């Protein structure tokens, strides 16, 4: 069963990622509010896995088969993330550790931890959250980001450090988003046969607590003793994912997920807008394809034109156009992505989702 609230939230995540990538990669502008797209995307991956597991259990699928397919899906996303880095971000960036490699790892972990109580997953997430800033200090995070982007040697140790602590989306703390998404899914979508309507109050309560914690950390930061403001509590930053950022975006994801589930799925307040729900469902069903496509649409022309003009593929990165032009291209890109999603759904065009089902299921 599909839930309109999840489709709508995934479209929001897609739109925000297109916005942040066009602004940053084409114009060199980072709008902090747009940084909500990636964590929301990862959070919803955990929710979706919970719905799939629940569906399989309801059909009587053996537990070993559920584990096997979930692991395959995780491995597929991990491999796709590496291939994506090679072909879209250029070969030198294979081990930059993208959203897809992080989500793939999260799905593999959840394949084995899916029967654990939601409280256990929350505890593990809290542990990851706590350890992440200390791991960055030990790994000397700033030394890997000398020019505001991730740099590393091709040694095994450097690659491993990037995967766990210093890359764009290292496991500490980013993997907590799919873990918390799965835990939230267990609260809202319990095992088949459980009586009563599940309450979303825990999600709204803890989401509010996390948002309040984020605001408190931001307010308190100027008053913290050294070296806390420069090492552990670094302000609202996505790279690295600071405690303020993680608590803020995770809290907002919990509140939006719980609130929209009640407002859209249970109370059906958007049933009078079937075209909106149909469009959201189409985009959501092909969100992985759209994630890949929107990168190709703006990065490949950037690399090709930069190489033609200056024989340097990355010469125009972050300085190709003014911010106004980059903003104007955002709705164009979203329109193209919607058209492609429509063709995939209605005309049977090949999609990343179709390949994933063929390989994994």
Say how far apart CA 17 and CA 288 lie, in whole Å: 12
Query: pLDDT tier at 51 (50, 70, 90 boundaries)?
Result: very high
Tokens representing 178 are 């799919």
Query: pLDDT tier at 359 (50, 70, 90 boundaries)?
Result: very high
Tokens representing 15 are 């739109």
Backbone angles phi, psi at 288, to 5 degrees: -65, -45
Residues 6+ apart with CB under 8 A from 310: none
pLDDT for 294-326, tens place per residue? Answer: 999 999 999 999 989 888 888 899 999 999 999
In the chain, domain spans: 4-360
209 or 198, higher pLDDT: 209
pLDDT for 329-358, tens place per residue? Answer: 999 999 999 999 999 999 999 999 999 999
Cis peptide before 227 (omega within 30 of 0): yes
Can you give the pLDDT at residue 148?
A: 80
Check whether 279 has a pLDDT greater than 70: yes
Are 116 and 46 in contact by the 8 Å Cβ rule? The answer is no
Say how far apart CA 341 and CA 354 lie, in whole Å: 12
What is the 3-state composition of the chain as percent helix, strand, coil, each rounded to the nearest 5?
Answer: 75, 0, 25
Can you give the pLDDT at residue 151?
A: 87
Of 285, 253, 259, which Cα lies nearest the Cα of 2?
285
Helix (H, G, I), strand (E, B) or coil at 347: coil
Can you give the pLDDT at residue 294?
A: 97
What value does the mean pLDDT take over residues 147-176?
A: 93
What value does the mean pLDDT take over residues 280-305?
A: 96
Say how far apart CA 19 and CA 182 lie, in whole Å: 26
Are 15 and 41 in contact by the 8 Å Cβ rule? The answer is no
Q: How many CB atoms lie within 10 A of CB 162?
A: 22
- The predicted model scores a pTM of 0.96
Percent of the chain residues topping a pLDDT of 90: 83
> Sign of the C-alpha dihedral, residues 198, 201, 203, 206?
negative
Check whether 103 has a pLDDT greater than 90: yes
């Amino acid at each position: 069963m599909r839930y309109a609230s999840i489709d709508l939230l995934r479209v929001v995540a897609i739109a925000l990622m297109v916005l942040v990538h066009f602004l940053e990669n084409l114009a060199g502008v980072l709008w902090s509010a747009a940084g909500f797209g990636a964590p929301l995307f990862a959070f919803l991956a955990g929710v979706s896995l919970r719905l799939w597991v629940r569906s399989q259990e309801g059909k009587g699928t053996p537990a070993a088969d559920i584990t096997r397919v979930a692991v395959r899906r995780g491995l597929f996303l991990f491999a796709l993330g590496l291939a994506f880095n090679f072909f879209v971000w250029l070969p030198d960036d294979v081990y930059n550790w993208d959203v897809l490699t992080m989500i793939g790892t999260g799905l593999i972990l959840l394949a084995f931890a899916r029967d654990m109580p939601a409280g256990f997953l929350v505890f593990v997430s809290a542990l990851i959250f706590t350890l992440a800033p200390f791991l960055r200090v030990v790994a000397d995070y700033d030394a890997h980001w000398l020019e505001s982007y991730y740099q590393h040697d091709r040694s095994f140790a450097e690659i491993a450090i990037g995967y766990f602590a210093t890359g764009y989306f290292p496991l500490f703390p980013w993997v907590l988003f799919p873990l918390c998404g799965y835990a939230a899914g267990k609260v809202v979508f319990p095992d088949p046969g459980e009586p009563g309507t599940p309450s979303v109050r825990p999600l709204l309560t803890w989401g509010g607590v996390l948002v309040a914690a984020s605001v408190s950390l931001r307010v308190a930061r100027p008053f913290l003793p050294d070296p806390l403001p420069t090492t552990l509590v670094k302000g609202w930053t996505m790279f690295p994912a600071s405690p303020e950022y993680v608590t803020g975006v995770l809290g907002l994801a919990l509140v939006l997920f719980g609130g929209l589930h009640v407002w859209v799925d249970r109370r059906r307040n958007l049933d009078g807008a079937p075209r909106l729900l149909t469009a959201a469902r189409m985009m959501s069903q092909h969100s992985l394809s759209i994630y890949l496509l929107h990168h190709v649409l703006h990065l490949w022309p950037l690399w090709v034109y930069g190489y033609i003009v200056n024989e340097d593929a990355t010469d125009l990165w972050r300085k190709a156009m003014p911010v106004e032009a980059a903003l104007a291209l955002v709705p164009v890109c979203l329109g193209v992505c919607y058209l492609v999603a429509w063709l995939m759904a209605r005309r049977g065009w090949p999609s990343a989702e179709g390949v994933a089902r063929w390989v994994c299921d």
